[in-house]
């Protein structure tokens, strides 16, 4: 069985941290990529994953809720993990290639 690529593992790790950050868990971006501020990327992505009204959490990707924090964490992991990975990849691409001229 083929090992997941380095980029794939980085994306998976950033997705995990972004989900935790979205739920207010203290989660450090313990991965780095030259030229990309991974912590800033997570800070930009996390608010797009979940909302909190002071009492309960709601999934910002499908609108489901209310959840407890733990409940939404499990929901994100079970239902949206691949989607969150895609969002992380899109944000990485934008930061790496977004500033380059087309052509």
Spell out, one character per residue from 10 to 49, where the chain touches Zn ion: x when CB under 5 A holds, - when not. ----------------------------------------
Four-residue CA torsion sign, 55, 69, 17, 5: negative
Pick the stretch among 2-10, 27-35, 38-46, 51-59 that binds Zn ion (CB under 5 A).
51-59
Cα–Cα distance for residue pair 98/66, rounded to 1 Å: 36
| CA 101 to the chain's CA centroid | 27
Pick one of 4, 25, 43, 62: the residue that binds Zn ion (CB under 5 A): 62
Task: Indicate the residue among 10 and 46 with the shorter CB distance to Zn ion.
Answer: 46
């Amino acid at each position: 069985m083929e090992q997941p690529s380095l980029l794939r593992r980085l994306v998976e790790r950033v997705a995990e941290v972004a989900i935790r950050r979205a739920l207010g868990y203290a989660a450090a971006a313990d991965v780095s990529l030259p030229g990309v501020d991974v912590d800033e990327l997570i800070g930009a992505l996390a608010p797009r994953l979940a909302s909190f009204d002071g009492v309960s959490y709601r999934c910002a990707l499908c609108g489901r809720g209310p959840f407890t924090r733990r409940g939404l964490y499990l929901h994100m992991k079970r239902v949206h993990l691949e989607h969150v990975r895609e969002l992380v990849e899109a944000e990485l691409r934008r930061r790496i290639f977004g500033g380059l001229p087309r052509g």
